Structure formats: structure tokens, C-alpha cells
Chain A
Amino acid sequence: MIDHGLLVQMLIGALLGISVYLPLATGQLSLATPAFYAVGGTLAALLSTRWAALGARVDGSFPLPSFLLELVLGGALAGLLALLVGRLVLRLQGIYLAIATIALVEIVRVAILNLPFTGGAVGIFGIPQPFPTAAGYLPPALALLLLAGWVCQRLEVMALGRAMAAVREDELAARCMGIATTRVKLSAFVLSAVLAGSTGALAAHFLNTWNARQGSFDTAVTMLAFVILGGSRSWLGPVLGGLLLTALPELLRPVGDVRLVLFGLVILLGPALFPQGLVTPALLERLGRWGEGSRP
């Protein structure tokens, strides 16, 4: 069965899924999320273990306000980085953007590996805990997910969100209509980074330890799988994909050694059976009409 620790991991997966989804909503295949996730996590790990003013105690506990402050700071730092990098990389499109963002992930990884204060390959361990059990992480993770979902849902009806959709459908046409496409793309990129940074700060405490391996290219592929299985046309797709794909390897434990084979099959069959992902606009429409007798 699913315990609270796994549930927190699932929520983290859903948050990262949304973070990959946001640039995709403007048609930009960005794999930079692990870089921002790593930045947020490293910042939280450093602050909580090195900066005594945050109030980490000898018994390994950590005050809640400091934890929340780290979520904000992690998001802010990642957002700032995205703002700086985004101007540069968002000139690229499609596969070139993907490659540039992979390069960003590598740069951040190698930087964390070699900076004198990030603990090298071992990383930072003994990260203090704001909560005595894994269940404590549920409210902040859930709140972060609700906030992200609310923003995404608002975007659907907001000018920015519609501009994002327009850029996704046809960037040239969008620009002809007077949309400042670069700013729209940059906004989505920064939003995605803020979310990934905050999630990283949360994950650093949850994992007890943080190292350069957390934000690697492999992670980027996993996160992309969340969006591809879940569907990239609604923010609920990556949420569902993140929840499912994080839980699946654990739920398959009873089958023993072949569990990762089955997991791979799901990833293979998912896009084959649901080419648009599990959550499609048509599904949402059907769900919305469900229970309504008359057609509008």
C-alpha cells in the first residue's frame, strides 16, 4: 500500500510534471527543470546545514518558518536564474532548445559537483527535519501543488495563458497578432523554474541528503515521461502522470525482479494507447458534461 513517504514522492513528481508542462504549454520543449530543482534543493540544503540563523537544532529538527522561507528562496533563486538564462536559450526552438536546456542541466550539475562548498560528489547530508515524520511533508507539498494547479487553471482564462496557447499553436501567427512571444515564453519558463526550485527545497529536506545526482539528465527524461504519459494539453495531465509514474515502481514491488520491466512496458504502452496522454481536452470536456442531460 502507499505510505506517506511515497505519497510525498508522488506529489513531488506531480509538481515537477507541472514544471515541465509550463514551457510545453508555450510549445517549448525545455528539459531545464532538473537544473532548477537542483538549484532549489542545493540552496535549501546549504542554508539549513550551514546558516545557523535559520535555527537548525542539534537534535536534527528545524523550525517550520525557516523551512517555508527556504521554499520561497529556492523558488526565487531558480526564477532569477531562469530569467537570466531564459533570454539566451529561448531564442532557440524545438530540438535545439531541448539541447540547450540539457546543457544547462549539465552545467548546474558539474557546478554543484565542483563548487567548494557543496560537498562534492557525496553532497550535503544530515539536512535537518522540519517534521518528525514523512506525513508532515504532505501539507506543504499538497499546498504547493494546489497553488501550482490554481495558477495553471487561472492561466487557461487569463490573457497570459491564452497568449501561451497562441504561441504554442503558431508562434509566427501569434507574433503577427501583436503578442510579445519572447516575453510570454520567458514568463512560462520563469514560472516553471520557480515551481521546480521550491519543489527542490522541499525535496532536499524530505530526502535528508542532497547531491549533484538529483538534477541530472536522467531526471529530465523521467519528468518528461510524466508529461508524455499524462498529456501535455492540460496541467492535470502531468499531475496524473507524475503521481502514477512515481507510485508505479513501488506498487509493482510484489512482482519482484521484473517490476522495472513492467514499468518500462507501461511507459511504452502509455503513449501507444493514449497518443495524446491520459488527460486530453476531449476527456475534460466529457467529464464537464457528465451528468448534464442537454447539450449546450
Chain B
Amino acid sequence: MPQRPAPWPAGSVATAYHPPSLAGSLTSSPATTLPARPSWRERGALRLSALLAAGVGALALLGQQAEPAARAVPPADAPNGALTIGAVIALTGNANLYGQDQRVGLSLARQWAQSRPRQPGEPPLRPLHFQLQDGGSDEATAIAGFNLLIRQGVLALIGPTLSQQAFAADPIAQRRGVPVVAPSNTARGIPQIGSFISRVSAQSSVIAPLSISEALRRDPRIRRVAVFYSQDDAFSTSETAIFQRTLRARGLTPVSVQRTQLADNDFQIPITAALQADPQLVVISIQAVGGGNLVRQLRELGYRGPIVVGNGMNTANIYPICQRWCDGILIAQAYSPELDTPINRRFRELLRRSSPDHAPSQITAQAFTAYQVLFEAVQRLQRRGGLQSVSLGQARKALMAELLAGTYDTPLGPIRFTPDGELVQGRFYVAEVRMDPGGRSGRFALVRETASGDGAQ
């Protein structure tokens, strides 16, 4: 290796140098150009790294905590007798539109639980605390939220908002034996993560085909269908697969399939491409904001036919986006505000009282339901004495068994669970968006109710 002696003092930046191979340079000892003893800066770096290493080591030691699962569950009438339900939902990030709705639903459920009329002779309830943590819209934040609440000794968890987050965070709860009720995870395979994972949100494979059926029932002559979906969104891609499968089963092949991105708001190009195929029906699987814009632009560019949208647009937040152009779009829902049962009337009344301008939506109702099923299961367990002289770990296990065994009358209608935690829901709905004359707000008007034999497919 040709190396001239450096004309400048050792320790300055550069020496004449022809780099050898990488492996060689890591092991070679260029001692000739080195200062005899470490420079101040090097010593400082060593000291700082030692300091950081000591810091990390100290944090690792401090992070070692007693496993709360071994703690005994206090009796219900003890001053510390309250058990805690934790929730990790997306209050920040791009899923926060859903998280805010869920926060409302959870708070309504707590009001409902506190104000529930007591039957005469009913034993005292087990008091429940509630802890809400932001799960962000990414995997790491959801994991951190789950870890935090599990460490604090929660009895059960509600969340996380997105299915992708569930795939990251649920295995942690499963390993620690903490029951999880997912309020909005619709992807395939969520309850299969483990025995402690369940959900109150019906899979898209159950709901999505209903709206297509409704559109075809209204106009059986439809032959040409255009499909839009955002290809970088887990929810939209799985939903569009179901939509397209349903179409194929009806003998319809999409004349145009347009793939968009989650962050897109301008759809002129895909719309123009799709309209060239002259579709008689448009099927959309895109999240709320993008979907609202797509519907509006479709209408503005001259499409007059029926539009079927997916679950991502199942929120009143689309009204201000597509305004009067929203009118008439068809959507399948797991919840209908028009369901006339005592619990749904109570849900709507609480909602009207606490947030008058918040339209009842599926996401809110499902979050309400998640808390409700946990609350009812805890109280049943308490009545049967299942929370007496057990450890928290045993109580969690017993609660999971109790949760799956029960049936529940919820704002979604009557529901129960399969043994592996999948939801079995009795009724599904197809709604049509009807906008007010001003075009600023509207409602999901129920057009059809479907009784499902078995919600879990």
C-alpha cells in the first residue's frame, strides 16, 4: 500500500490515502499515523459512550419490574377494589379520525355503565377504572401503549385502532395473558393471533358484499363495474379483494381497476381512465378523506351512476368533504343508528347529550360495544365469585373465558363470540347517504337490514 509520510501533524484530518478493501481497512493498523496516546476528543468520546452505556444499563435495571399478574385481586368493597380497563386507540397520526370517534364511544360507554339502572337485590358492582392511552397510527406507539398499560396492571385492553397495529401489539398482550377486545380491526386473522384476542368489529368479508347486492338488486342490468382502491392501505386492499370476489361471483368482471395511494386527494387521472370504460357502477375502497374527494370528483367529472363505498367511509366525517355529491352513495354497515332497541336508544341519547353535533357512527358504536362487553363480563364474573381470592393473571384468564361465553345486547344488535374470539353478529345493514338540502350534513339512511345466519365466516 503506497503511503507517503504525512507532512502535517498527526491527528489532523487527512493523510494521503488509497483506500484498501473495506475488510482490510477495518483490521489494518495504521499506527504510523496515529498519535501515541488517545487524543482528548477520543477520551471524551469513550467517556460519553461509557456514560450512555451506564445509562442504558440503569434503565434496563429500573425497567425490571414485578409482574403485576402475580398481584392478588383485592375484594370489591376494598378501597382499592377497582379494576382497570385500558384502551389504546389512535388519537394522533393519520388514523386519528377514527380514534376520535372511538374516544367518544368509550366515554359514552362509561357513562352508560355508571348510569345503568340497578335491579332490586342486585349485588354491588365491581368498580372499574378506565385508562386511555394514545396508540398513534404506527406499530411502535401501539406496542408502547400496550406495554405501559399491561405494566400498570390492567385487567383487559381495548384497541388498537388499525389492524396493522393489532398484528404488532396483540401478540404482546397474548404472551402476557391479557384479554384484548378490538373495536375496529377488520382484517382477516386478528382473533387467530391468540386465545386472548377478540373483536367486536365484523370482518369486511361479512359486510362488504351486502352493498354490492343492494346495488345489483336496484339495477340488475349492471354489467360494467369500475373499482377504485388505495393500494398502500391494508384495510382498502383487503376490502377491495372481497368486493371484487363478490363481483366475480355475480359474473361481473371489473372493466377498470384503478389503484390510488393513501395520501392521494386528486383523482382526476384515475377517474378519467375509469370513465373511458363507461362504468354502470363504481365500487370504492378508500379511507374517509380520499374517498370523499374521489366521490366528489367522480360526480364533477360527469359520472351519474350508482356508487358503492367501503367501510373506510363509514363516518360522518365524509359529509363536509363530498357535500351534496355524497348523496345516494351506498354503504354496508355493522351498525345502524335507526336500530330501534333500548340500548341503541340509550346510546343515541347519551351521544346527543354529550356531543350534540356528533352523528352516531359505526366506529363510535363499536367502541361503545367493546367497553360494554368487557363491563358486562366483569360484572358477571364478579357475581359468580370468579374475582375472589385470585391473582390478576387468573382474573384475566377467567375474564377471557367469561367474555367469550356470554351473549350481549349492544347498539350493534345482539352479538356473541366464537370460541376463538371472532364476532358473531346477528344483523347487518345497507345504508344510503342522504344529504340535507344545504349539502353540509346528512345521514346514513337505512335501506335494508340483513339477518346473518352466522356472522363469522
Contacts and interface: CB of A to CB of B under 8 A. Distances in A.
Interface in B205-239: 231-234, 236-238
Contacts of A180: 18-19
Nearest to B190: A125
Contact of B45 (A126, A257, A284): A284
A93 interface: no
B265 to A, nearest CB: 17
Interface in A141-190: 142, 146, 149, 151, 153-154, 156-160, 162-163, 165-166, 169, 174, 177-180, 183-184, 187, 190
B231 A113 contact: yes
A160 B60 contact: no
Interface string B45-64: 11111001100100110111
Interface stretch (B73-81, B161-169, B271-279, B295-303): B161-169
Interface residues of A, number: 81
A113 B232 contact: yes
A153 B42 contact: yes
B450 to A, nearest CB: 27
A156 to B, nearest CB: 7
Given A154-B26, A285-B41, A288-B43, A160 B19 contact: yes
Interface in B167-213: 167-169, 171-172, 175, 187, 189, 193
Given A122-B237, A253-B134, A288-B43, A4 B25 contact: no
Given A187-B22, A236-B48, A290-B47, A285 B40 contact: yes
Given A2-B59, A122-B238, A162 B42 contact: no
18 contacts: A121-B236, A122-B167, A122-B238, A125-B167, A125-B189, A126-B193, A149-B49, A158-B25, A159-B28, A159-B33, A160-B25, A162-B33, A177-B14, A184-B19, A239-B49, A243-B56, A249-B141, A285-B40
Nearest to A132: B175
Contacts of B143: 5, 9, 207
A220 to B, nearest CB: 14
A276 B47 CA distance: 20
B441 interface: no
Interface of B: 13-20, 22, 25-26, 28, 30, 33-34, 39-49, 52-53, 56, 59-60, 62-65, 91-92, 133-134, 138-141, 143-144, 147-148, 151, 163-164, 167-169, 171-172, 175, 187, 189, 193, 231-234, 236-238
Contacts of A109: 232
Contacts of A149: 49
Nearest to B142: A207
A289 to B, nearest CB: 5
B168 A288 contact: no
Contact of B164 (A4, A146, A183, A211): A211
Given A3-B151, A146-B53, A239-B52, 12 more contacts: A6-B144, A7-B59, A113-B231, A129-B175, A134-B147, A153-B49, A178-B17, A178-B18, A179-B18, A207-B140, A253-B134, A288-B45
Given A157-B42, A159-B15, A163-B17, A2 B63 contact: yes
